[in-house]
């Protein structure tokens, strides 16, 4: 999996499930199989960068990992880490859901 593929999956996931129910998600890309992880615990609506980065770094100490987390103000950060350091990223602005009748 490439970073662009992961970003597309996260964009689709947030569009389908919404900002409020989105949990930090990570992907450890592999040659034969990608490993996906979700941090399923109560987190702050103001952003979860510190917790999400520490969690992602605990999944894999070296190599690449893709990570997505809520970044406050209805934004989701999608990042690529290499050897624990941020090397690429995008920010998704998530608009509130408005039901049209």
Euclidean distance between CA atoms 26 and 78, whole angstroms:
9
**Beta strands, E only, 25-84:** 25-28, 35-38, 64-70, 75-82
Position 31 scores a pLDDT of: 79
User: What pLDDT is stored for residue 45 in this prediction?
Assistant: 61
Written as tens digits, the pLDDT of the chain (101 aa) is: 999 999 999 999 988 888 888 899 999 998 789 999 999 877 766 668 888 999 999 998 889 999 999 988 789 999 999 998 999 999 998 877 666 66
DSSP string, 31-44: SS--EEEE--S---
Give the residue extent of every domain in the chain.
3-93
For residue 25, what pLDDT is reported?
95
Task: Tell me how far apart the alpha carbons of residues 55 and 49 are, in angstroms, rounded to a whole number.
Answer: 10
How confident is the model at residue 97, as a pLDDT? Answer: 66
- What is the distance between the alpha carbons of residues 89 and 78, in angstroms, rounded to a whole number? 5
pTM above 0.75, yes or no: yes
């Amino acid at each position: 999996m490439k970073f662009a593929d992961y970003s597309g999956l996260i964009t689709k996931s947030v569009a389908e499930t919404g900002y409020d129910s989105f949990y930090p998600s990570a992907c450890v890309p592999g040659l034969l199989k990608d490993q996906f992880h979700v941090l399923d615990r109560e987190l702050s609506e103001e952003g979860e960068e510190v917790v999400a980065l520490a969690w992602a770094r605990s999944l894999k100490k070296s190599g690449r990992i893709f990570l997505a987390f809520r970044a406050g103000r209805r934004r989701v950060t999608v990042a690529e880490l290499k050897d624990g350091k941020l090397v690429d990223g995008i920010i998704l602005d998530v608009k509130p859901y408005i039901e049209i009748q």
